Amino acid sequence: MAAPVPPGAPRQQPPTGPPPNFQQNPNALADNFQNMNLNRPPSSNTRPPPFGQPPPFSSSSPASPMTRPGPFPSGATLRPASGSPSPTLPPNMAPGRPSGPPFGQPPPFGARPPPPGAFPSSMPPSAGSPPYGAPPPVTRPSPVASSSPVNMGPSGAPSGFMSNGPPAPAFQAGQRFAPPGSSQHQPPMGAPPAMGPPARGPPQAGAMRPFMGSPGAGASQVLPPSGMGQAAPAFGGPPQAMLGSVASPYAPQMPSQPGVPPMPGSMPPPRMYGMPPPMQNQMTAISPVIGQTGGTQPGASKIDPNQIPRPIPSSSVILHDTRQGNQANPPPPATSDYIVRDTGNCSPRYMRCTINQIPCTADLLTTSGMQLALLVQPLALPHPSEEPIQIVDFGEGGPVRCSRCKGYINPFMKFIDQGRRFICNLCGFTDETPRDYHCNLGPDGRRRDADERPELCRGTVEFVATKEYMVREPMPAVYFFLIDVSMNAVQTGATAAACSSINQVIGDLPEGPRTMVGIATFDSTIHFYNLKRALQQPLMLIVPDVQDVYTPLQTDVIVSVSECRQHLELLLESIPTMFENTRTSESAFGAAIKAAFLAMKSTGGKLMVFQSVLPSIGLGALAAREAEGRSNVSAGDKEAHKLLQPADKTLKDMAVEFAEYQVCVDVFITTKTYVDIASISVIPKVTGGQVYYYHPFSVVSDSVKLCNDLRWNVSRPQGFEAVMRVRCSQGIQVQEYHGNFCKRIPTDVDLPGIDCDKAIMVTLKHDDKLQDGAECAFQCALLYTTVYGERRIRVTTLSLPCTSNLSNLFRMADLDTQFVCFLKQAAREVPITPPLHVREQVTNFCINILLSYRKFCATVSSSGQLILPEALKLLPLYTLALIKSAGLRIEGKIDDRSFWINYVSSASTPSAIPLVYPRMIAVHDLDTQDGNGSIVPAPLPLSSEHVNDEGIYLLENGQDCLIYAGNSVNPDIMQQLLGVPSADQGGAEFTLQQYDNPLSKKLNEVVNEIRRQRCSFLRLRLCRKGDQSGMAFFSYLIEDKVPTGGLSYVEFLVHIHRQIQMKMSS
């Protein structure tokens, strides 16, 4: 077979790094990815971890307003997003803001490109080290100056607030508004006022408001304005008003906040940007939302699409302490690049809450319209610079636990009575301190040994599990590969690709005598291989009964890698040729996994299935429902979503059985046809596995990805036979868990396999009132077995303050988490509800939050404007993106949608966001762009306005990477980048190669960096204008208006505003 994998790649690896494991060498992960990176010089060991710096969502959204703004007229057109700090900062800063620190930092920034790499060495626990030297010192001592270099703006807490609310900006806005807006706003404007007043908004005088209010008419009116900005006028709200509104909620809080420290500048959340904050900027030129200047300037209504809220990437790394001053410190955005210091609460990577303060009552929560949920990612990949999780061994007695709720000892358990007893922070029960765990209390009421004991000072610790936590010996690491060898699979090269991938990956499996591997192939029958044979070649054992399967051997089907490596390799090499001439087109997927399961039953382990066609025979065979579905389309879409549900219960029942025996199934679907992922995916979902989808499969372009995906799959931090439970303080309880797992009893989830990429959403509900000012704790305990066969309990504890103040909730909302929860729920709905309903639900969700904010937190005067809480200002954009995402697209392929649904269900926050809101960058001018320290250039808004015919663009969502070449690209550039003079010659099967020119090198660097960030190799596709591929590319530009009815971003804002107004007035 033509193994497209560069022969060199795998070989390089062993030397570079040991197989990754959690703590010891976080960099190993990065190393892995390096190896994936074909074109990358292998030298760079020091590359930062994959998650180093997720670009699209800048580390701090608050920064965005600052960067764009207006002092520079040019700002409007191109946003020098991460432009040189010095110029940007001042503008952001409200007058009178301390500008010292920011300036101090530039130097480090300048040096940034290398820093990620430098991290590991230079700053272990954020000691003052050269590159970062500046920030940390600054942060600690002077809360005011505060935190991370990037977010200078917010950092000055007071000033930050000012920026939102304070009148000063408002005025600015007012002043600035006139000039930009003046150009074109009249037409719509004119009309609305007329209609508006009668129709609606009695209290509000805002000219715009009425406009918004009248739904029907309004819409028509709005749209006509045409042009990109058409909808602009809709947002009537006079800027000033908004500012006012913002200010008001905010101001009051200020005092309440315990001074500056708790709200370090780095926090985006603290700042409330409603519409207002943008306003602040808009004032000058942007003011997207508030199209109309309302009262002041009736004419200036046109929204500048460049000014509406969009995520602004930050290239800098945020340093984050989880608690400061004994207060929970709201975490940086999930998608930003940050380094955590665990000072009591767990790192937000492991667990984060949708709101960083817990509403005291259920009513309050309901009023806010927000969700209360945790996103738990217990094995998340840490930043290489972070301190490793400490392992605590309590010896035979096992970890100290509350005798009532069985909560684990954590920093928030309160020791009393000279340390003889302690009060559980989860259930409130007073326990006796075990004798040998006793320690006196210090004057501060803490145990004197608190700082020496990780479990008393860290939010995340790992306990060594005792016998009590084992029902059997910890299982060995078992990897079973199951390969489709039906005619289709062999002919498309999928079999060969799978075999060669496995062959390359065998070396990456955890080393040790307990690492076991099995291989089986299947078509209409299942073929096992007995590899443990002293003489001769392996023995092929065929299980022909695919209705009622069994395993052909109790032992020897799964063998120790170290003993049978050669046999394995030999076998993998011969499989493709052995089935070369097969004419069996049937595929017994269900039976095969069942048989493999039976072979693994005694140990459990990971089952990796390479499937290429629709399972057509035997147990769990599926019908080509899609075809039926298509013919039914005419009958209406009512039933269409049923195709997204599993065909029957067979596979589900199997999956539950697998989970019971700790078998985790990953499915690699390498196909060119419909395979009914909706049904197949049930198995990975229930067993804690994952679906990989290569469609349409191409040997040339997908083999490498397959190999890299597989490598990451086996080498990423992971655990087996896990059980997870989340405990909450009294007053809150877990409502439900969502994710890829199996649940047999209500309180726990069983995870046959869990890895660093998997997240579980835990929705919460009140069962009692909480005390304002008290803390509410959440503790996630994950009992699992490492790949080396150690049984561990990873305990992550998060303690958050409770509040009864609604505006606090908005202020402390965590946009990314909030949205991801919301995304996951939408994904769950899709198969059971017609898509239009789901879209409506999604939109309503967004509206309700904004409405609540508008109703209860904004000032009365601002009613005519669309007001967005600062923390959630991107919610409409994300909501729009979600509505237009693959999963909710009606016309999409069923399998694509199923895959999307499945992917979302286990996706972590940092990977879910880009899936919905991808990142687009221009690559034709990579060599001239100023990266500003980051390898990946600043993303462009997802709007076709930003795509021009002379450009080449790269758009990626963590899974796919589309390279789009316009029609009139300079052939030179094409040649340099892609090796062909025009996109027409690119061919569908596209691989990125490195050519000997700076542009190409740069592109490769960028792609590799993205791969590293995403922990994903990305499927590269070349898109051309005018054909299918081009359409695919444009379908990701979610800000565009879609001919079939999808609103543009601006239109969507208008729509939301109108809805809010309707509800307000009703």
Partner 1 sequence: MSEMANTDPEGIDGVRMSWNSWPRTKVEASKCVIPLAACISPIRHHPDIQTLPYAPLRCKTCASPLNCFARVDFTAKIWICPFCFQRNHFPPHYGMISETNLPAELYPQFTTVQYTLPNPSINPQMGVDPNVPTALSPSPVFVFVLDTCMIEEEFDYVRSAMKRAIGLLPENALVGFVSFGTQAHVHELGFSDMSKVFVFRGTKEITKDQVMEQLGLTVPGRRGPGTSAAAAYQHKGMMPNGFPGSGVTRFLLPASDCEFTLNSLLDELQTDQWPVQPGTRASRCTGVALSVAAGLLGACLPGTGARIIALVGGPCTEGPGTIISKDLSDPVRSHKDLDKDAAPYFKKAVKFYDGLAKQLVSQGHVLDVFASALDQVGVAEMKVAVERTGGLAVLAESFGHSVFKDSFKRVFEDGEHSLGLCFNGTLEVNCSKDIKIQGIIGPCTSMEKKGPNVADTVIGEGNTSAWKMCGLDKSTCLTVFFDLSSSDRSNTPGTVNPQLYLQFLTSYQTPEGQTLLRVTTVTRRWVDSTVSSEELVQGFDQETAAVVMGRLASLKMEIEEGFDATRWLDRNLIRLCSKFGDYRKDDPSSFTLNPCFSLFPQFVFNLRRSQFVQVFNNSPDETAYFRMLLNKENITNAAVMLQPSLISYSFNSLPQPALLDVASIGADRILLLDSYFSVVIFHGMTIAQWRNMGYQNQAEHQAFAQLLQAPQDDAQMIIRERFPVPRLVVCDQHGSQARFLLAKLNPSATYNNAHEMAAGSDVIFTDDVSLQVFFEHLQRLAVQS
Point out which residues bind partner 1 (CB under 8 A): 524-525, 528, 533, 535-545, 548, 550, 552-556, 574, 577-578, 582-584
User: In this complex, which beta carbon is closest to partner 1, that of residue 85 or of residue 538?
Assistant: 538
User: In this complex, which beta carbon is closest to partner 1, that of residue 524 or of residue 929?
Assistant: 524
User: In this complex, which beta carbon is closest to partner 1, that of residue 175 or of residue 537?
Assistant: 537
Cα four-point dihedral sign 560, 566, 567, 570: positive
CB 536, min distance to partner 1, A = 6
CB 535, min distance to partner 1, A = 6
What are residue 428's phi and psi, to 5 degrees? Answer: 85, 5
Q: Running DSSP on this structure, what letter comes out for residue 86? A: H
CB 612, min distance to partner 1, A = 17
CB 651, min distance to partner 1, A = 21
CB 530, min distance to partner 1, A = 9
User: Alpha-carbon distance 779 to 410, whole Å?
Assistant: 9
CB 732, min distance to partner 1, A = 50
Tell which phi-psi region holds residue 189, choosing left (phi > 0), alpha (psi between -120 and 50) or beta.
alpha
User: In this complex, which beta carbon is closest to partner 1, that of residue 254 or of residue 541?
Assistant: 541
User: In this complex, which beta carbon is closest to partner 1, that of residue 483 or of residue 916?
Assistant: 483
Q: How far is CA 839 from CA 207, 369, 833, 836, 883, in A?
A: 30, 17, 10, 5, 6
**Nearest one of 632, 58, 27, 601 to 312, comparing CA atoms:** 58
CB 572, min distance to partner 1, A = 13
CB 473, min distance to partner 1, A = 17
User: In this complex, which beta carbon is closest to partner 1, that of residue 473 or of residue 949?
Assistant: 473
User: Alpha-carbon distance 419 to 440, whole Å?
Assistant: 5
Q: Which H or E element spans position 430?
A: strand 430-432
User: In this complex, which beta carbon is closest to partner 1, that of residue 573 or of residue 989?
Assistant: 573
User: In this complex, which beta carbon is closest to partner 1, that of residue 440 or of residue 537?
Assistant: 537
User: In this complex, which beta carbon is closest to partner 1, that of residue 551 or of residue 825?
Assistant: 551
Q: Are 1011 and 193 in contact (CB under 8 A)?
A: no
User: Alpha-carbon distance 159 to 50, whole Å?
Assistant: 34
CB 610, min distance to partner 1, A = 20
| 50: CB partners within 8 A, 6+ apart | 29, 30, 33, 381, 1011, 1012, 1013, 1014, 1015
User: In this complex, which beta carbon is closest to partner 1, that of residue 520 or of residue 644?
Assistant: 520
User: Alpha-carbon distance 652 to 648, whole Å?
Assistant: 8
The label of the residue with tokens 């729009």 reads: 880
CB 531, min distance to partner 1, A = 11
Tell which phi-psi region holds residue 152, choosing left (phi > 0), alpha (psi between -120 and 50) or beta.
alpha
Burial call 460-485: b when 16+ CB within 10 Å, e when fewer = bbbbbbbeebeeeebbbbbbbbbbbb
Q: Are 98 and 145 in contact (CB under 8 A)?
A: yes
CB 487, min distance to partner 1, A = 10
* β strands within 237-383, DSSP E: 318-321, 323-324, 327-328, 338-341, 351-353, 358-359, 373-376
User: In this complex, which beta carbon is closest to partner 1, that of residue 529 or of residue 737?
Assistant: 529
CB 516, min distance to partner 1, A = 16
Dihedral angle, C-alpha 1012, 1017, 1018, 1023, nearest 10 °: 100
Q: Are 367 and 852 in contact (CB under 8 A)?
A: yes
CB 662, min distance to partner 1, A = 20
CB 544, min distance to partner 1, A = 3
User: In this complex, which beta carbon is closest to partner 1, that of residue 535 or of residue 745?
Assistant: 535
CB 591, min distance to partner 1, A = 12
Q: Which H or E element spans position 659?
A: helix 650-660
Q: Running DSSP on this structure, what letter comes out for residue 521? A: E
The label of the residue with tokens 């879409």 reads: 637
CB 438, min distance to partner 1, A = 49
**Nearest one of 470, 379, 322 to 794, comparing CA atoms:** 379
Sheet arrangement for strand 430-432? 414-416, 421-423, 430-432
The label of the residue with tokens 């980048």 reads: 977
User: In this complex, which beta carbon is closest to partner 1, that of residue 581 or of residue 1066?
Assistant: 581
User: In this complex, which beta carbon is closest to partner 1, that of residue 178 or of residue 553?
Assistant: 553
Tell which phi-psi region holds residue 979, choosing left (phi > 0), alpha (psi between -120 and 50) or beta.
left
User: In this complex, which beta carbon is closest to partner 1, that of residue 487 or of residue 691?
Assistant: 487
CB 613, min distance to partner 1, A = 16
User: Alpha-carbon distance 55 to 655, whole Å?
Assistant: 37
Q: Are 655 and 620 in contact (CB under 8 A)?
A: no
User: In this complex, which beta carbon is closest to partner 1, that of residue 1 or of residue 539?
Assistant: 539
User: In this complex, which beta carbon is closest to partner 1, that of residue 535 or of residue 635?
Assistant: 535
Q: Which H or E element spans position 528?
A: strand 526-530
The label of the residue with tokens 């009591």 reads: 344
User: Alpha-carbon distance 236 to 204, whole Å?
Assistant: 11
Q: Are 105 and 148 in contact (CB under 8 A)?
A: no
CB 596, min distance to partner 1, A = 14
User: In this complex, which beta carbon is closest to partner 1, that of residue 168 or of residue 539?
Assistant: 539
Q: How far is CA 445 from CA 65, 96, 345, 439, 838, in A?
A: 44, 41, 19, 12, 52
